[in-house]
Amino acid sequence: MNLPTKIDPQAARAIGPLPADHPPVRVGKVGVLLVNLGTPDGTEYAPMRRYLKEFLSDKRVIEWPRAIWLPILYGIVLNTRPKKSGAAYRQIWNQERNESPLRTFTRAQGEKLAGALAGEEHIVVDWAMRYGQPSIEAVTQGLMERGCDRIVMFPLYPQYSATTTATVNDKFFEALMKMRFQPAVRTVPSYQDEPVYIEALARSIENHLAGLAYEPEVVIASYHGIPQSYFQRGDPYHCHCQKTTRLLRDRLGWDENRLITCFQSRFGPEEWLQPYTDKTVEKLAREGAKSIAVFNPGFVSDCLETLEEIAGEAGEIFRHAGGENFSHIPCLNDSDEGMAVIETLVRRELSGWM
């Protein structure tokens, strides 16, 4: 670690005078690290392959035996999927910034949280990605170099899964394992039933629907899926998703026919959590539904899975099967409602450190 040349004033008060030959130190600050899933650096073959290699090599994501999975990954997936994924990313790419929407929104969330906490002089906010750049290790190292001897790490996943929250925790603690001087740490837990989160989702839905020229007959809460085998081995994700939807129904005053839960983004030959979003959208249209809306409560930011897979592909499936009106409700992103969730949870975990 490259030590700074200036002692932080607060640190100086805390630790008192140092010996003349003591190396320069900077401590006394508290870091807040927001971590999202990840993003490729570009839509071309090489950056897409690099991103997919890191993502699909994660043992938390693909739990198959390595002897079976790695030949498939390197022999088939990484030779075919980068081109297909790159084409999908190009449809939703932020051309102005030359980056994915996920990076754009995560940066904005970090900047707005820093602004909300600006009155606390010893708080430093930064953001990272589990896969891709900026990496968890690099940003954690940077927070330490800025004097953060305490860090609150926030995996930006409302519902817990080993495939998301746990792998972010793994990578964060892996980074700490390389440090001689480690910070004190706290990790923000999942928040599938937090009142501020449920209220933010409800307001987002209400505001969006109020701007439509039609009334959706069904609203779908579409969560990213996981293989059923993961759930059967104890992953609580399915239960967390169902609880979020149930609390939203209560808040909105809707019944089980108006607001339903589905799961998207399945990959590979295994059975995943059901019902599947694409199959449900098609079934609704074929059964006579003319207007539906879909939102993604498991994603804090719009990304490939929400913009291309749902707003684009699912809408096409619905209309092709006979539906007429399809609307995708944006994620909370860096909206006032979304930032209220992040700030509330961060302030709670900072209790005693602020």
The single-letter DSSP state of residue 98 is T
Instruction: Answer yes or no: are the C-beta atoms of 31 and 149 closer than 8 Å.
Output: no
Please identify which residue in the block is written with the tokens 């030779």: 79
The CATH number given to 195-329 is 3.40.50.1400
Q: Sketch the domain layout of the chain as residue ranges.
A: 195-329
The contacts of residue 232 (CB under 8 Å, 6+ apart) are none
Divide the 354 residues of the chain into consecutive groups of 10 and give the mean pLDDT of each group. 46 57 72 97 97 97 96 97 97 97 98 95 96 98 96 98 98 97 97 98 98 97 98 98 98 98 94 98 98 98 98 98 98 98 98 89
Crossing angle of the two packed helices 336-349 and 101-116, in degrees rounded to 10: 60
313 CB-contact burial (10 Å; exposed 0-12 / middle 13-18 / buried 19+): middle
Q: With b meaning 16 or more CB within 10 Å and e meaning fewer, what string describes 106-130? A: bbbbbebbeebbeebebbbbbbbbb
> Nearest-CA neighbor of 329 among 248, 256, 247, 240?
248
In the beta sheet, which residues pair with residue 294?
Answer: 220, 328
Q: How far apart are CA 200 and CA 328, in angstroms?
A: 16
pLDDT, position 354: 80
pLDDT, position 17: 64
Q: Could you tell me the pTM of the whole model?
A: 0.92
Provide φ and ψ at 30, rounded to 5°.
-115, 125
pLDDT, position 348: 97
The structure tokens listed for 36 are 């999202």
